[in-house]
Structure formats: C-alpha cells, structure tokens
Chains A and B, each alone.
Chain A
Amino acid sequence: MRKTFTLACATSLGIMAAASTAAQAEDSVFVGHLMDITGATGFVGKLYGPAVRDAVAYINANGGIDGTTIEMDSVDYAYEVPRAISFYKKWTQNDMVALQGWGTGDTEALISFVAKDEIPVWSASYSGHLTDPTGINPNTQKPAPYNFFYGPSYSDGCRALAQWAMEDWEASGGEGTPKFVHTGDNHPYPNAPKEACAAYAEELGFEVLPPVVVSLKPGDFKAQCLTIQENGANYAYIGNLGPSVVSLFKSCDTVGTDVQFMANIWGGDRKTMEAIGDSERSLIFVAANAFWNDDAPGLETVRAISEMADPDVDFRTHHYIRGICTAYYMKEAMEWAKENGGITGPNIKQGMYARTDWVPEGMEGVCIPSTWTETDHRGTMTVNIYRGTNVDGEVGIERVTQTTLPRRDDWLGW
C-alpha cells in the first residue's frame, strides 16, 4: 500500500510537470479557450466548444493569420468559475492575446480582468449587459469594453420572439389581449432577458404574466404547465437549455396546456426536437446563422471544418456553426490587427470595429452581417426565427422569419 501510494504521488507529480511544459511555436499567437463539456451546461457546451477548436485548427491548416499560427489551449473547465479564473491567470502569463469564453458565470467573472489586461473575449454568453462597452446606458452596472459575442443578445432574441408572437397573434385572428409569460430557472442565465423582454412585450400590447420558474435541470414540470394553463398564457418564452425544454414539452403535452413555446438561442435545435419525440405543438426558437442543410456558399467551409475534425459526422447543430462564426470574426479581427501594428489585445479590439455589415470571408450566407462600434457591442440586431416540429419522430426545422429590431439607444446594455 505504501509503495503504491508513493508511486501514485510520483506519477502525479510527473504528469503535472509534463503537462505544464507548453511548447512554444515560432511566430504564433496564444489564445485561451474555455469549454464546458462535462459541466452544468455541457449539453450545448459540447457542441459549441469543439466548433471553436475545430475552426481554429482549420484556420491554422490553411495559413493561419497571414502566416501566424493561432496556438489555442482548449480546456474543459466544467462550468466552475474558480477553475476558469485559474486557467485565465495561467494564460495571461503565456502572453494570451484573445480569449474564447463560454458561459454566464465565467464571462461575468472575467469582465474586469479582461478589461484590465486588455484581452478581447468572445463569449457564448449573450447577456444584454455585455453590449455596453463604455457604460452609456445609466442602467449598465459595469461597462464591458473587451467583451464581444456573435449573435443577438438574449434580450434582443426574446424581443424578436415577442414581436413574432404579436404578429402571429394578429395573423391567426386572436381576440383580446394576448398574454406573454417568461419561464426559466431562477439563475442569471435564464433571468438575463427577463425584465428587458417583459418591458418590450408590454410595449407591444401583451399582458405580461408573472414569470414561472422552471428548473434548468430536466424534471416533472406538470405543476408549472398547470400554472401556465390557468394563467391563460398564449406565448411562453423559455430561457433554459434543451434538456429542460424537452421535459417541459412532455409535461405540458400530458397536461394539455394550450400555449406556444418560444425558446432562446440555446433552447432549440435538432437534437432537442428529436428528444421531444412526437408532439402536436411546435417550438419556436432563435438562431443566428444558417443551418447545416441550408443552401449557402459559406457552408462549404463549415463542412470542410467539420470534415477535418471528424469525417464520420454527417450533421452539426446551429450551435456548432455559430461557434465557427465566432472563431472567424476573431480570425479576421486578428488579420486586421496584424496589418495595423501587430496582433495584440487592443489591436484585435480595434479590428472588431474596422468593418461594418461584416461577414468573414468564407462564411458568406452563414453568419449574419454584423457591426461592432466603440460604443455599441451589439453585433447584430437581426434575429432568425425557426420553428421545430416533430411529427411521428420526423423532425422538421423551418425558418419562420428574419426579424431586424431597431437599434434603440435605451436597449444598449439591457
């Protein structure tokens, strides 16, 4: 026993020593990459995280940033903020120039760090308050000058859904005031758009009902479905992730709740629709890019990236494609930086402002044209709205509409 223990100690020390020896390549820039594969948000984290990794591998294989290799350290931090911070500290000593982040927790925790260290971060947390880089909006608690994300914010996504819901209500000849309800766990992530979206829904003429708390973890939600039914909600926004959406569908199908569910950008995809199984109701959800089976020139690149990573995969969700878009915006911002003084954090940030209605090369028709400015980090106000159905196990995903919201000043950072 004692020998085994000593041996175990020695081995683990050896492993640590070997793991900390990072290879330094010639002419390369270092990028940190936080993924959640095994943690609380792993359901979508394992779709989005590898996309960024695969895209960077593809970029490197095709010349990198005009010859400069992106050296990326992709780690699974299991959605634990202290571990994300510890990786971040390690990377800043490796002269990290940019960071690919993930969830609400780590992104919020790193806002002041990245601002101090001047490291641009692309998160997959789309909280509205990350979009105010200078704190123009008096409601912004903390300006986030180095935070970027690709796609509509949670608030804008929800606003677009509310707008679609009103159009749908009018088109279907509904009478009286339609009722709108927010469902989601009592957590920062589902709560992010709650107030902003409720305010806009009221502006549109909805009666906004008190929010219904639905756990982020899947479970039996019949009680919540009955509440939604009794309150007479017509449109319910879901701020959770796929597994919870599946449970909600199953529970409400059993109860027979008559409501149209609308999910945020992480709540709807083909895998979720497959898991829901045969259902009479449909799921309206937000997306920010073309889908795998669409017909867009940029999808060639997307397929090539997927092919290079794993030739056996014949389908990727829109989360994967959005991850690729995010990586490509970083790539082109770095290219701009390289031409304008070198690839450093502040230069990459300037690179993000260099273009308007910008689609990265090779991503035509895939990513929504986006514009970032020094005072407004809302890349796009355009929201794609999709409808997912499952009839007898046959999953159907179709685009319902593309909504472009006005770029209102009072919505900045909210």
Chain B
Amino acid sequence: MATQSLRPCGDFRTTYRQDTAIFDTFNSRWAMILFLALLYVMVLVPILAPGVEETPVLSTLFGPFYNAQYLSLAIQACYWGIAALGLNILVGFTGQISLGHAAFFGIGAFGSAYLNNTYGIPVILSIPLAGLIAAAVGLLFGSPAARIKGLYLAIATLAAQFIIEDLFIRVDWFTGGSYGSLANTVELPGYDFSAGEWVTLFAFDTDPKFFLFALTVTIVMYVMAANLMRSRDGRAFIAVRDHYLSAEVMGINLTKYRILSFGISSFYAGIGGALYGHYLGFVSAEGFTILLSIQFLGIIIIGGLGSVMGAILGTIFMVLLPEVMAGGVDIIASTDWGNTPMITNGLAFFKEMAIGAAIILFLIFEPDGLAHRWRLIKAYWKLYPFSY
C-alpha cells in the first residue's frame, strides 16, 4: 500500500535504471520541475521589477510571494527541512535514533558564523564547511552506534545533546559564549581584476533573495538525498534498518554504515543550521535545546519515516501549524464573547496543546505520515471517479 504507484497500466519497468527513478512517472517529474520553476519566477519578478507588488492587478498575483511573513515561513521551512531530512536519513532510512540533532544543527550555525567572522571565508563557502564540521562532530558522537542500538543509543545521543549544548555556552572563542555570535548575510564574492580585490557580486540580503538561495540549497540537498537512497550506500542503510543481522550476513559493514549515517545526518543538520544562522544574523546558544531535537523527530514522524518527500511535508506542517492555530485564536479573541481576559489567556495555552494533539492524531490516523497521505490524495484524483 505504501509503495502504491501511479504508473499507467501497461507501462512496465524494463531496466534497473527505470526501476530506481526518483519520480515514478513522466508527469510527476515535470509537475515538480514546473512547480519549482514557477516558484522561482514568482519570487524573482518582485525582485527584478520593484513596485510590481503594488500595481493593482499584479499585486494579487505576486503579493503572496512578496509578503514578508510568508517568505519568512518559507525560509523556515527550508532550513528546518534540510535538517529534518538529515534526521530522516538517520532515523527513517538507517533505523538509528538521535536525540541530539539540535546540537549538530547548532554546530552548523556557530561553525559557519565562526569561519566567516574569524577567517573571512565567504559565507557561501563557510556553509558547506560548517556542514563538514557538524559531520565530523556527528561521526564522533555517533560512534557509540557501532556497539549499541535502540534505547541505549538514544541515551548516548542524548548525552551528545547535553554536552554540546553546554559547550555552546562555555567555548567562548567558537560561539561567543552567552552573548552568542553574529552571522553575516550570504554574499556571492567576485574578484575584481582591475582593482585587484575581492568584491561582492550579489548579496542575498533581503528575504526574497534569501529565500531563493535557501530554496536552491534545499533542492540540492534533497536531490542529493534522493540519489543517495538509490546508491549502494543508501541500500546498505535500508538493509541495516530492515534487519541488521541479515545485512551483516550479506557483507554490509554495520559499524561503517551506522556511523556514516550519523555523519551524513549531521552534515544535513549543519547545513540547515548554517542557513538558520545566516538568515537570523545572530546565533544564540539558547536556540538548540533538546526540545528542538524532539521537534525534529516530530517533523519526520508527521512527514513519514523513511521518505525524502515526507521530511519537507512534515516541516511545512510544523511551520504552518502554530500560525494556523494563532490565526484561529485571533478570530475567537476578536469576537465579543471571546475577548475576555480568561478566554484570551486560556486560548494561548490551547494553541500549544493543539500542536501536541495534532501529533497524537497523526500517530493514530496516519502513522505513515503526510508522504503517504499525499500519495493517497494523488491516487484518488488519478482514479477519480472510478476508484474501484
């Protein structure tokens, strides 16, 4: 059921190449490419033609893509989404568990800011380097996975969370201690040969520009993950998850792949963290708590464990849920009967509870996550109205 395909009748896979295609059908591939291209265009137009968002007719068309709050939410979805995908590689594909993902996310954020501030490495390069730093730390803290699994591994990664979180406050030279550190905007550096110096070609200094940058990084990271999963290493991850003993019998080096999975997962967390840092412009140790780690787990459970698509769907859900709830609370508070202190104060808590309730409802009604629900919706329309 979960692998339900939308392949038309009579369209068979005849080569291994077809069997491992990322998109099942021609249509789904082009739909995705068109959707992303359209997204780029819609965001680009207000950048290239300032004022278009204020002209009468075009404003309704381009307004949402210029709206600062929507863009800010979309950027959030990008950096959380990259980190969540990393955790999904570890938890969903390799069957390991990590309660320390937020710490690696933080290392990416601080690492990129540190490399840029201290060594003057352009942000655009310090982001992947920060990913590598996070990966190195992830390999280190993932090494217990060589020997332990399940709940014991969860506790070992919990230790990573606490140790690293504490280091964020103490290692002043790296993180700026309790004051945190500043992070510059992402810039595309260029070399001016006539002047003989480095100049800024293009700065992603506004939200629409930064969104395009974050979106590009997200697409690259997602394509990389989707490709990883159809490579030899990706299949090894899945084998380790499905039955580690059989995997070992087949000749898969369990230690190598378990730790490698931690490394890759932390790399993704690091990239996500670096984007987060450079977007906010400031990194504070306060942000990378165990709660964030658990939120990452929540994202991939809601989105669908072991699904690349699920990671981004879960992230979008998690980003939008508080906003939708806040909107609902606002509406109740704007009514006459709702605008009493008891109700408005109570609603604030109701909003938080609703997020918890949503997670429980998902676990009960949709344990395979949004990715599965998405497939069902597609199947429904594909077969409509002759679904039986």
Contact = CB atoms under 8 A, between A and B. Distances in A.
Given A76-B348, A108-B282, A186-B166, A191 B178 contact: yes
Given A15-B327, A112-B182, A309-B341, A141 B282 contact: no
Interface residues of A, number: 44
Interface stretch (B70-78, B146-154, B307-315): B70-78
Contact of B324 (A12, A86, A194): A12
Contacts of A37: 345, 348-349
Interface string A170-197: 0000000000000000111001101000
A163 B209 CA distance: 52
Interface string A298-320: 00000000000110000000000
A104 B286 contact: yes
B67 interface: yes
B327 A19 contact: yes
Contacts of B386: none
B323 A16 contact: yes
Interface in A62-78: 75-76, 78
Q: Say whether chain B's binding surface is mostly helix, strand, loop, or mixed.
A: helix
B284 A186 contact: no
A81 B331 contact: no
Contact of A129 (B73, B179, B282, B351): B179
Nearest to B321: A12
Interface string A191-218: 1101000000000000000000000000
A30 B326 CA distance: 19
A118 B170 CA distance: 33
Nearest to B323: A16
**Interface range, B side:** 35 or more
Contact of A310 (B71, B322, B341): B341
A188 B179 contact: yes
B341 A105 contact: no
Given A78-B352, A90-B68, A188 B281 contact: no
Interface of A: 1-2, 5, 12, 15-16, 18-20, 37-38, 46, 50, 75-76, 78, 81-83, 85-87, 89-90, 92-93, 104-105, 108-109, 111-113, 129, 141-142, 186-188, 191-192, 194, 309-310
25 contacts: A15-B331, A16-B323, A18-B331, A19-B326, A38-B349, A38-B352, A75-B326, A78-B352, A86-B72, A86-B76, A90-B72, A92-B68, A93-B67, A105-B287, A108-B282, A108-B284, A109-B280, A111-B282, A112-B282, A142-B182, A187-B169, A187-B178, A187-B285, A187-B286, A191-B169
Given A86-B69, A108-B284, 9 more contacts: A15-B331, A78-B322, A82-B280, A90-B68, A92-B68, A105-B286, A112-B282, A129-B179, A186-B166
